């Protein structure tokens, strides 16, 4: 089987031809069918991105009410149909069930093991178990069309190589390689089989691996420059017939996993992202809170029908110490802000009470699960939309759709959503949000305009309102724009990336006038994070 060449118009013609043959009246011999060869014409839908080649062989079993007519008969593909020496039974009015699988084995398999080394196209193809079952089949001189389906899962890995060295290979660690094959030729992960390392295969610009369906916590290992760097991935349920995409950024010192865009073909099973350092998330939604990484957070279901955190995140990724120094422009996480005792300026707050109330301030790359300095291309930033980042399991950093669905208004070119539940006709309303339990305030930010700056400034304190922090920029995950070191020249390198976030403003005389709209946030600015629960 040539497993990964896209099927275009030719495939559509084949399927159409198959369908038209099904609609034709079968050619019935005058006597019986015992001299008519069994022919199987495979239907492989467009989403499978798989085709059979001449010489491929399937095993076919035909079962009638009277018993088994043929068991594991070998049929070989001739470019149009699978054929062999097998003949039909004589009785043309007797229905039967046909069950076929690929690749052929001497006995109908009760288990199937993928290759540990799938670095070649042959090994990758040989690891792809497909099957088809069709009931109520009458003998026919025409080929019987059968729809073959993948019983395993496919992993597709996209690599952004910023290391300066060639990628020597990518291995997925921790997968059970063997599946139990049921009587209906479906597959489930075999019990009692130890996980192994699966070496992926490179085809074009992507790496591929075939794995049995299973719940798995994989580890991606990338070899380059004579080194191997590993990254734990989030737990994922691999479902038969679906593919799962992983995007890996390879830097000189480490690798980072980010969420990639949707992958076409097969049935898309979603993306597998980086496992956060602390993944212990316990939801108590009916009681209005979740537990994450040892901390309790209030949550609320708003009138946009989404669950939001009603407190700012205060999670600190492993290896990071929150900064309280404005010159630490790549710290990733900063302490929150408060008004100083003289009410003349903002300052860092390092006391536990303020941190519990306000959370930490995060630069975008850190909030989205990366390290500061990882983003090197617009495509990488675009791929982060809806990323889990440092949010709890099952939650994500807000997208622009989350923002406008909640408060309605955002900066140009985002269109105003006048139907948003917390849009008051002019702005997103903090008063309306907080009346429903959102508990949002303007908690300030660290302003670092772009990656050329060597120091930040406090954002949020105004002389007009000396007793409070009155503005804020909160981090989001939707790409909003880019500037380069030389204006308009991408080859000169990125100077700044912007994401859409939230901007609470309390620089008004009364709470009824406080606003909360969508804004553009430069990726080195550090602001609060409110996570949104993923759609079910």
Q: How far apart are CA 420 and CA 400, in angstroms?
A: 13
Confidence band (pLDDT; 50, 70, 90) for 312?
A: very high
HSE of 479, CA atoms in CB hemisphere, 13 A: 15
* Sequence-distant (≥ 6) Cβ neighbours of residue 38 within 8 angstroms: 60, 62, 70, 73, 75, 83, 84, 86, 87, 88, 144
Q: How far apart are CA 102 and CA 129, in angstroms?
A: 6
pTM above 0.75, yes or no: no
Q: How far apart are CA 287 and CA 373, in angstroms?
A: 39
pLDDT, one tens digit per residue, over 59-112 is 999 999 889 999 999 999 998 899 999 999 998 889 999 999 999 999 999 999
Q: Rounded to 5 degrees, what angle do the CA atoms 358, 359, 360 make? A: 125
For the segment 164-191, the average pLDDT, to the nearest whole number, is 94
Confidence band (pLDDT; 50, 70, 90) for 435?
A: very high
For the segment 345-360, the average pLDDT, to the nearest whole number, is 94
Residue-by-residue DSSP string for 70-125: EEEEEEEE-SS-EE-S-B--S-TT--EEEEEEES--SS--SEEE--SB--SHHHHH
User: CATH number of the domain at 9-150, please?
Assistant: 2.60.40.2620
Helix, strand, coil: what percent of the chain each, to 5?
10, 40, 45
Compute the mean pLDDT over every residue in the chain, rounded to the nearest whole number.
87
Confidence band (pLDDT; 50, 70, 90) for 269?
A: low
For the segment 131-135, the average pLDDT, to the nearest whole number, is 93
pLDDT, one tens digit per residue, over 443-468 is 999 999 999 999 999 999 999 999 99
Instruction: List C-alpha distances in Å: 521 to 217, 395, 408, 502, 526.
Output: 33, 21, 17, 8, 9
- The tokens describing 368, both together, are 């989205």
Beta bridge partners of 497: 482
For the segment 400-420, the average pLDDT, to the nearest whole number, is 97
User: Domain map of the chain by residue range?
Assistant: 9-150, 153-271, 312-533
Residue-by-residue DSSP string for 231-257: EEB--EEE-TTEEEEEEEEE-SS-EEE
Assigned fold of 153-271: Immunoglobulin-like (2.60.40)
Which pLDDT does position 258 carry in this prediction?
Answer: 54
Could you count the other beta carbons within 10 Å of the beta carbon of residue 56?
A: 19
- The helix (H) or strand (E) run that includes residue 197 is strand 196-199
Is a pLDDT exceeding 50 seen at residue 201? Answer: yes
């Amino acid at each position: 089987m040539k497993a990964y060449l896209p099927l275009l118009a030719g495939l559509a013609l084949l399927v159409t031809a198959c369908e038209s043959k099904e609609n034709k009246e079968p050619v019935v011999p005058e006597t019986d069918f015992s001299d008519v060869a069994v022919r199987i014409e495979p239907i492989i839908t467009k989403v499978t991105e798989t085709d059979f080649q001449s010489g491929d062989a399937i095993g076919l079993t035909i079962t009638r009410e009277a018993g088994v007519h043929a068991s594991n008969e070998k049929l070989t593909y001739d470019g149009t149909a699978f054929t062999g020496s097998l003949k039909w039974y004589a009785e043309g009015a007797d229905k039967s069930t046909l069950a076929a699988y690929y690749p052929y084995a001497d006995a109908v398999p009760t288990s199937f093991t993928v290759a540990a080394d799938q670095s070649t196209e042959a090994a990758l193809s040989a690891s792809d178990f497909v099957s088809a079952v069709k009931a109520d089949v009458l003998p026919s001189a025409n080929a019987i069309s059968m729809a073959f389906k993948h019983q395993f899962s496919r992993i597709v890995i996209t690599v952004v190589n910023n290391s300066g060295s060639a990628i020597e290979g990518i291995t997925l660690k921790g997968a059970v390689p063997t599946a139990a094959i049921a009587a209906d030729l479906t597959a489930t992960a075999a019990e009692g089989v130890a996980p192994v390392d699966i070496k992926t295969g490179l085809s074009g610009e992507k790496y591929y691996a075939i794995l049995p369906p299973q719940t798995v916590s994989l580890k991606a290992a990338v070899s380059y420059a004579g080194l191997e760097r590993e990254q734990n991935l989030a737990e994922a349920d691999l479902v038969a017939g679906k593919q799962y995409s992983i995007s890996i950024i390879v830097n000189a010192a480490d690798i980072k996993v980010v969420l990639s865009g949707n992958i076409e073909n097969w049935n898309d099973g979603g993306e597998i992202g980086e496992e956060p350092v602390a993944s212990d998330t316990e939801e108590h939604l009916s009681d209005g809170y979740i537990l994450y990484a040892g901390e309790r957070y209030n949550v609320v279901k708003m009138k946009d029908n989404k669950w939001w955190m009603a407190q700012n995140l205060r999670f600190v990724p492993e290896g990071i110490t929150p900064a309280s120094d404005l010159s630490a422009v790549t710290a990733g996480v900063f302490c929150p802000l408060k008004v100083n005792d003289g009410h003349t300026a903002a300052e860092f707050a390092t006391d536990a009470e303020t941190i519990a109330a306000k959370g930490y301030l995060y630069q975008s790359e850190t909030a989205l699960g990366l390290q500061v300095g990882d983003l090197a291309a617009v495509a990488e930033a675009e791929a982060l939309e809806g990323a889990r980042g440092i949010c709890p399991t099952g939650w994500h950093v807000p997208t622009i759709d989350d923002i406008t669905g909640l408060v309605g208004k955002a900066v140009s070119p985002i269109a105003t959503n006048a139907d948003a539940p917390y849009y008051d006709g002019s702005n997103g309303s903090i008063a309306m949000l907080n009346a429903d339990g959102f508990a949002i305030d303007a908690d300030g930010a660290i302003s670092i305009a772009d990656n050329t700056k060597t120091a930040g400034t406090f954002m949020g304190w105004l002389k007009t309102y000396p007793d409070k922090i009155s503005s804020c920029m909160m981090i989001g995950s939707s790409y909003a724009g880019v500037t380069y070191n030389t204006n308009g020249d991408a080859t000169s390198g990125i100077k700044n990336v912007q994401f859409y976030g939230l901007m609470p403003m309390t620089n008004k005389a009364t709470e009824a006038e406080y606003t909360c709209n969508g804004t553009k946030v430069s990726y080195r600015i550090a602001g609060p994070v409110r996570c949104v629960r993923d759609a079910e």
